[in-house]
Structure 1
Amino acid sequence: MGHYEFGANVVSDRYMLLGRITTEGRLSGRIKYDLAQWMAMKLHLQLSGEPGQSQAMLDTDLKGGDWNAQLKLGSPSFLGLNYFQSLTPRLSAGGEFFWLHSNLKSGVGLAMRHQGTKHVATMQVATTGILSLQYAHKVNEKVTLATDFLWQFATREATATLGYDATLRQCRLRGKIDTNGVVTAFLEERFSPGINFVLSGELDHLHSNYKFGFGVVAGE
């Protein structure tokens, strides 16, 4: 049986409204409002007829000259706080904390980011048992290559991913392949101003799982 999704967007200079509803009856929405140049509020909603599947998250974003912070309050009983500070024009670092009361679970994470003229490198480590490394390099004005490494301490499992992003005259092609043998690709072609055709595919030979999709996007 096919599944479909209907969406509507309303965007202005200070606020943004996004809504999606599926044929399964799931409704999701996002509201963003800029209170000032240094403060914004975001509300994420996901409503479902299934018990325990509805969620809500309220974010408060604060931005200074060389720092930014975010406070997150969500259901069920979620509290999160993160802070990021520029140390030099190219290097920044920060941390985050979260508390999930329903599971009596908490976590602390640290992150660093270095940005050069043609590259961006990031590192994240968390007490939840995850180490993540990312590196993106701009080959030229049209091609960017990226790598990702994820290591889970508890299960001693690691995954590496290699991706690419190429912008051609009439289309944009993105894809990746990981060490699990999963290959994905996403093609977006511009038919005319305001009309784009999208084509996506995912091949998982190990589990014999193959997914394909296409769509048409109208509007800028």
Structure 2
Amino acid sequence: MQKKEQKKEPKQEQKEKTSEQEEAIPPTNPGRFDNILRESQTILNIETSDGVTLRVNQQLNPFFSLIHTLQFGSIFKPPNYIFSSRFLTKNYAFLGDIDKKGNLSSRFFHQTTPKLLTNLFVEIENEKKITSSGVDLEYYSADFTGKLRMQSDKSVSVSYLQSLSHPNLIGGVEVSYKGNSKKTEIRSSARYTRGNSVYSVEYSDTHAKHLSVNYVKKISERIGLATDFIYNFETGVTHSSVGLRYHLRKSRFATLIRSSGSISTMYEELYHPLASMKITGDINYLNNQYFFGFSLRFGPEI
């Protein structure tokens, strides 16, 4: 059974977001390459919505749960219904979502060995008649993580993440070959941790060559601050933002201010372990655009 949400601390929430497979990783393992910027993205990525979202979660047993999501009132998207299922055990996990138009997204995880995690995924866009699938093989050693991804469009990617001076410094690189465009892309990242501060940098030539520098400061157990700076080598344009997350006992607040003149804000109130309300807003003063969202959740947080 899930613990009461009002007693959670930020550290406990982060642990819940960590999968059972990650918890089995040896202490000196650097984790996944895709998560190297997780500390900054947790603060800088604010999920906002336009319109109303109603979500009902059903925990049928300790392993199996269902999620019903109804979305309406958006000026950008028509009303939609999404049915989701989750089946989680120690060595297996299945995640599936399907909407009223028949668009399907599913993933199957298998802890093949203590060090090898297999991930099969399928994406179906019914309207566009597009189907994509693939497999991820992730290997966790004592001080490095290697990943191989193969997709149905003949795209292949390989990543390697190494602990250079655990737990302070980690670095890695990812090389991808796009089957459709026959283009090779490179992404390299590094992260340095010192006390309550985290510094990270990433270079990528995906879509456009750019450099991203991030800084995260854990001010207290409840307050986190993050900033990022992005420079586009092709256009010479720079972007920066600063974000803040604040956890109260029964509520959460987050805001993000961008150099482009836009602000995103989220406020969530936990009325009960089985009910919560969230209000989000996106404001762009330069373009005079304002979008707001309201969501309700009933049932345990899944």
- Bigger drift between 100-109 and 135-144 goes to 100-109
Q: TM-score, normalised by structure 2?
A: 0.68
- Cα deviation, 1:155-198, whole Å, max 9, x if unaligned, reads 22221111111100101112211111111112222121233322
Partner of 1:119: 197
Superposition pairs for residues 138-149 of structure 1, below 5 Å? 138-149=218-229
Selected match of 2:157 from 73, 80, 85: 80
Contact 2:101–2:126 (Cα < 8 Å) also in 1:
no
Selected match of 2:247 from 150, 164, 167: 167
Q: TM-score, normalised by structure 1?
A: 0.91
- Cα deviation, 1:48-107, whole Å, max 9, x if unaligned, reads 123364322321111111111111111322100010111112111111100012101001
Partner of 2:147: 70
The alpha-carbon distance between structure 1 residues 58 and 206, as it changes in their structure 2 partners (threshold 3 A), is farther
Selected match of 1:98 from 140, 155, 176: 176
Q: Distance in 1 between matches of 2:177 and 2:213?
A: 24
* Structure 2 gap segments, 5+ residues each: 1-77
* Structure 1 gap segments, 5+ residues each: none
Q: Distance in 1 between matches of 2:95 and 2:289?
A: 31
Selected match of 2:110 from 8, 11, 33: 33
Report runs of 4+ in structure 1 exceeding 6 Å deviation: none
Partner of 2:300: 219
* 2:152 partner letter: S
Does 2:268 match 1:188?
yes
* 2:300 partner letter: G
Superposition pairs for residues 5-44 of structure 1, below 5 Å? 5-44=82-121
Q: Distance in 2 between matches of 1:204 and 1:3?
A: 26
Does 2:213 match 1:133?
yes
Count of paired positions = 220
The alpha-carbon distance between structure 1 residues 182 and 25, as it changes in their structure 2 partners (threshold 3 A), is farther
Does 2:256 match 1:176?
yes
- Bigger drift between 143-152 and 15-24 goes to 15-24
* 1:109 partner letter: R
Q: Distance in 2 between matches of 1:214 and 1:75?
A: 38
The alpha-carbon distance between structure 1 residues 153 and 52, as it changes in their structure 2 partners (threshold 3 A), is farther
Higher helix share: 2
Selected match of 2:135 from 16, 36, 58: 58
Aligned-residue Cα RMSD (Å) equals 1.8
Following superposition, the deviation at residue 5 of structure 1 comes to 2.7
* 1:104 partner letter: K
Other structure's SS at 1:87 match: strand
The alpha-carbon distance between structure 1 residues 185 and 53, as it changes in their structure 2 partners (threshold 3 A), is farther
Could you tell me the percent identity over the aligned residues? 25
Other structure's SS at 1:103 match: coil
Higher strand share: 1
The alpha-carbon distance between structure 1 residues 206 and 21, as it changes in their structure 2 partners (threshold 3 A), is farther
Relative contact order, CA 8 A, sep 6+: which one is greater?
A: 2
